[in-house]
């Protein structure tokens, strides 16, 4: 996730406006920043790696001439955060500049073809192909907008782009597919941005650009066209009545809620990861004598779910280990045949890095799954995969958890395929269901959020909760508990449902709330038995069930229905979403700040 912004002013300098707007988009990415302006038929570019303030201190981002410009704040996906990989990217002749938020899936093929035709690339980014494609189309005699359209027709993936060119110095051409793009309309200026807060102090009139549309900005006027058939679209600006603070959270009261709602789009991004890195990682896992999945907190819960995925799909045992315990538990036995897959949203968690260091010293192979390219984990790992969830501001991990699950399930599936442990039909079914996951989550959020708010209202004063699940749903129980404890400060216990009768059941008294996670998998029958045990002792049952599961619905005091027919290994992805929303509304009901829970930090860099 990156932020893009640009403007065409009637008068004055674009660069300082771009600079302050990018500051408002910094939450979308902050590892490098750049601006390009057009002035007297020349492009002027300043860009570098680092936070906006650092780059500004070095290069003065306000000091570029011209009333037209584009800017970008980056969250690296393809290519580490170096100056050369910073946007804007240019064509061979440095006449065209492009900023982009999204992922070009077929960039490697396009780049190869362009290089064969003599184009010289400077960066390792996927974005640069767009600049070179437009360059080719322009030499064929098209206008800038037509050239951008033709270039984008060759591109597979997601994008919000903006292009300027010295050949048409009065225009900015923008386009979008699956990445956000809005245009701000003022008396004396036109703006575009990834997000409304970037221009809200300047205008509250906005035009939302839809998927596969191009917008041509030109001195106070704009023209929208559909990319597939070039049809003209008439769309008037709407008035936005958000305050600046509301706008930063896109109208949501908290970042956590915004991030829960972002999960469909984050999951779509996990389906576009670079094949070569997933394959390479699968090779290391395949060859390892033993595989440890090392992480803390939510990432550890993802690892527990992953151990079921590897076991069920690839028939392969992996060991999820809490990072702070790794050295004590395995520090002496880990060796050259061991592989550690470290899972860390931030890539900076001290406990996780300490486990990796111990393993590295004993010649083990270290792999990483993280959300932050350029983090320590990406530097120490032999291979890393970036889960591409975009920055997560809320301390409680939500969107990054479901994205981790998606990536880990893809790895398990690849290993299963490679080892011939899974049938063709199962592979196709899993791949299909992974593709449907964003829509399934969208539907849960749309249809169940209000009900979960009501359930939170009903149970807000309970002093303790149980979360129970069997099999892979145990990981969901752990994550539901962690969310509730960390943001609503309600003590909670999570157990494998079968284990609860070996001790914790003694806590149950009439009205004690027990949340059961009950997908219709092989554990379903035994879970019903566990529900009965709890009910017999007066517990209040809140059940997460698949649609049409009348048996469990009839036993529950409250229930939430989730799409049916999910493969067992993918069920944690949708089943955790109601628990995130429940924890969020419990925090709100109990007057706690879900974004900034006490005593916690987003990234824990001490051991
Ligand atoms: O950045 P990491 O994934 O390594 O962070 C690990 C934990 O600190 C983190 O998941 C923590 O548990 C979250 N606050 C959970 O919401």
345 within ligand 1 shell (Cβ under 6 A): yes
Mutate which of 255, 293, 299 for ligand 1? The one with the most ligand atoms within 8 Å of its CB, which is: 299
The question of whether 2 is a catalytic residue gets the answer: yes
Beta strand 221-226 with 42-49 is unpaired
324 within ligand 1 shell (Cβ under 6 A): no
Mutate which of 296, 340, 392, 395 for ligand 1? The one with the most ligand atoms within 8 Å of its CB, which is: 296
The question of whether 602 is a catalytic residue gets the answer: yes
CA-to-CA separations, 146 to 70, 71, 136, 140, 225, in angstroms, rounded: 19, 22, 12, 11, 10
Ligand 1 atom with the shortest distance to the CA of 603: 1
pLDDT digits (tens, 9 = 90+) for 17-59: 999 999 988 877 778 999 999 999 999 999 999 989 999 999 9
Summarize the confidence of residues 274-283 as an average pLDDT: 93
Ligand 1 atom with the shortest distance to the CA of 297: 12
Cα(344) to centroid of ligand 1, in Å?
7
Mutate which of 294, 297, 370 for ligand 1? The one with the most ligand atoms within 8 Å of its CB, which is: 297
Q: Which two three-digit tokens encode residue 222? A: 């704009």
CATH number of 252-422: 3.40.50.10490
216 pLDDT tier (thresholds 50, 70, 90): very high
397 within ligand 1 shell (Cβ under 6 A): yes
Q: What is the pLDDT of residue 31?
A: 85
349 within ligand 1 shell (Cβ under 6 A): yes
Q: What is the pLDDT of residue 605?
A: 65
pLDDT digits (tens, 9 = 90+) for 171-210: 999 999 988 899 999 999 999 999 888 998 899 999 989 8
pLDDT digits (tens, 9 = 90+) for 502-536: 988 999 999 999 999 999 999 999 999 999 999 99
The answer to whether 580 and 467 are in contact (CB under 8 A) is: no
DSSP output for 426-461:
HHHHHHHHHHHHHHHHHHHHHHHHHHHHHHHHHHTT
603 within ligand 1 shell (Cβ under 6 A): yes
Ramachandran bin of 231, using left for φ above 0, alpha for ψ from -120 to 50, beta for the remaining angles: beta
Domain 252-422 and domain 443-598 have a common topology: yes
From atom 7 of ligand 1, which residue's Cα is the shortest distance away? 297
Asked if the model's pLDDT at residue 473 lies above 80, the reply is yes
User: Per CATH, is 443-598 categorized as 3.40.50.10490?
Assistant: yes
Mutate which of 302, 348, 376, 397 for ligand 1? The one with the most ligand atoms within 8 Å of its CB, which is: 397
pLDDT digits (tens, 9 = 90+) for 297-316: 999 999 999 999 999 999 99
Annotated catalytic residue, options 226, 451, 535, 602 = 602
Q: What is the pLDDT of residue 525?
A: 95
Using a cut of 0.95, tell me whether the model's pTM lies above it.
no
The answer to whether 491 and 485 are in contact (CB under 8 A) is: yes
167 pLDDT tier (thresholds 50, 70, 90): very high
The answer to whether 96 and 90 are in contact (CB under 8 A) is: yes
pLDDT digits (tens, 9 = 90+) for 577-586: 999 999 999 9
354 within ligand 1 shell (Cβ under 6 A): no
> Worst-scoring range by mean pLDDT, 74-83, 126-135, 226-235, 370-379?
74-83
Radius of gyration of the CA atoms of the chain, in A: 25
CA-to-CA separations, 552 to 99, 469, 529, in angstroms, rounded: 51, 13, 10
Alpha carbons within 13 angstroms on the beta-carbon side of residue 544 total 31
* Spatial separation of the C-alpha atoms in residues 153 and 418, rounded to whole Å: 34
Alpha carbons within 13 angstroms on the beta-carbon side of residue 31 total 22
Ligand 1 atom with the shortest distance to the CA of 597: 14
pLDDT digits (tens, 9 = 90+) for 593-602: 999 888 877 7
Q: What is the mean pLDDT of the chain?
A: 94
The fold of the 3-248 domain, in CATH, is 3.60.20
Annotated catalytic residue, options 2, 174, 296, 358 = 2
CA-to-CA separations, 310 to 274, 293, 307, 410, 497, in angstroms, rounded: 20, 11, 5, 10, 21
How many CB atoms sit inside 10 A of residue 339's CB? 23
pLDDT digits (tens, 9 = 90+) for 236-268: 998 877 776 666 788 899 999 999 999 999 999
Domain boundaries along the sequence of the chain? 3-248, 252-422, 443-598
299 within ligand 1 shell (Cβ under 6 A): yes
From atom 11 of ligand 1, which residue's Cα is the shortest distance away? 297
- Percentage of the chain exceeding pLDDT 90: 83
539 within ligand 1 shell (Cβ under 6 A): no
pLDDT digits (tens, 9 = 90+) for 373-396: 778 899 899 999 999 888 788 999
- Percentage of the chain exceeding pLDDT 70: 98
């Amino acid at each position: 996730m990156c932020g893009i912004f640009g403007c065409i002013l009637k008068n004055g300098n674009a660069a300082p406006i771009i600079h302050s707007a990018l500051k408002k988009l910094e939450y979308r990415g902050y590892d490098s920043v750049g601006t390009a302006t057009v002035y007297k038929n020349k492009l002027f570019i300043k860009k570098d790696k680092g936070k906006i303030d650092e780059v500004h201190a070095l290069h003065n981002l306000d000091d570029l001439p011209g009333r037209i410009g584009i800017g970008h704040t980056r969250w690296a996906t393809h290519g580490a955060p170096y100056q050369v990989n910073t946007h804007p990217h240019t064509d061979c002749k440095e006449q065209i500049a492009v900023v982009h938020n999204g992922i070009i899936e077929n960039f490697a093929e396009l780049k190869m073809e362009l290089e064969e035709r003599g184009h010289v690339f400077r960066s390792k980014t996927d974005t640069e192909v767009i600049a070179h494609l437009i360059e080719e189309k322009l030499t064929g005699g098209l206008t800038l907008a037509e050239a951008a359209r033709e270039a984008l027709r060759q591109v597979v993936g997601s994008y919000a782009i903006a292009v300027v060119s010295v050949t048409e110095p009065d225009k900015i051409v923008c386009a979008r597919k699956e990445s956000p793009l809005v245009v701000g309309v003022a008396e004396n200026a036109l703006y575009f941005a990834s997000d409304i807060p970037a221009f809200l102090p300047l205008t509250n009139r906005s035009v939302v650009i839809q998927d596969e549309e191009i917008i041509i900005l030109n001195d106070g006027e704009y023209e929208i066209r559909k990319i597939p058939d070039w049809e003209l679209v008439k769309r008037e600006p709407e008035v936005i009545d958000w305050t600046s603070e509301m706008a930063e959270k896109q109208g949501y009261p908290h970042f956590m809620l915004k991030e829960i709602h972002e999960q469909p789009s984050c999951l779509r991004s996990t389906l576009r990861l670079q094949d070569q890195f997933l394959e390479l990682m699968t090779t290391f896992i395949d060859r390892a004598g033993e595989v440890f999945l090392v992480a803390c907190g939510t990432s550890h819960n993802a690892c527990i779910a992953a151990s079921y995925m590897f076991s069920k799909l690839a028939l392969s045992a992996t060991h999820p280990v809490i990072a702070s315990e790794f050295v004590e538990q395995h520090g002496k036995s880990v060796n050259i045949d061991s592989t550690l897959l470290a899972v860390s949203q931030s890539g900076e968690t001290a406990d996780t890095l300490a486990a990796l260091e111990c393993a590295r010293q004993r010649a083990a192979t270290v792999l990483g799954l993280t959300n932050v390219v350029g983090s320590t984990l990406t530097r120490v790992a032999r291979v890393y995969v970036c889960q591409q969830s975009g920055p997560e501001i809320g301390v409680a991990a939500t969107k990054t958890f479901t994205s981790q699950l998606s990536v880990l399930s893809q790895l398990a599936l690849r290993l299963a395929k490679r080892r011939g442990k899974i049938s063709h039909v199962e592979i196709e079914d899993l791949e299909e269901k992974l593709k449907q996951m964003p829509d399934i989550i969208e539907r849960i959020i749309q249809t169940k959020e209000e009900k979960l708010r009501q359930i939170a209202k009903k149970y807000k004063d309970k002093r303790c909760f149980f979360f129970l699940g069997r099999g892979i749903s145990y990981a969901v129980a752990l994550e539901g508990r962690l969310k509730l404890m960390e943001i609503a400060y309600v003590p909670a216990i999570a157990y494998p449902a079968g284990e609860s009768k070996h001790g914790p059941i003694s806590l149950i008294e009439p009205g004690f709330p027990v949340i059961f996670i009950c997908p219709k998998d092989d554990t379903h029958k035994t879970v019903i038995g566990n529900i009965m045990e709890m009910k017999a002792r007066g517990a209040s049952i809140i059940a997460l069930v698949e649609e049409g599961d009348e048996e469990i619905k009839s036993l529950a005091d409250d229930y939430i229905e989730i799409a049916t027919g999910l493969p067992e290994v993918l069920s944690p992805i949708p089943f955790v979403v109601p628990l995130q929303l429940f924890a969020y509304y419990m925090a709100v009901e109990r007057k706690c700040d879900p974004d900034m829970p006490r005593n916690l930090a987003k990234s824990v860099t001490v051991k």
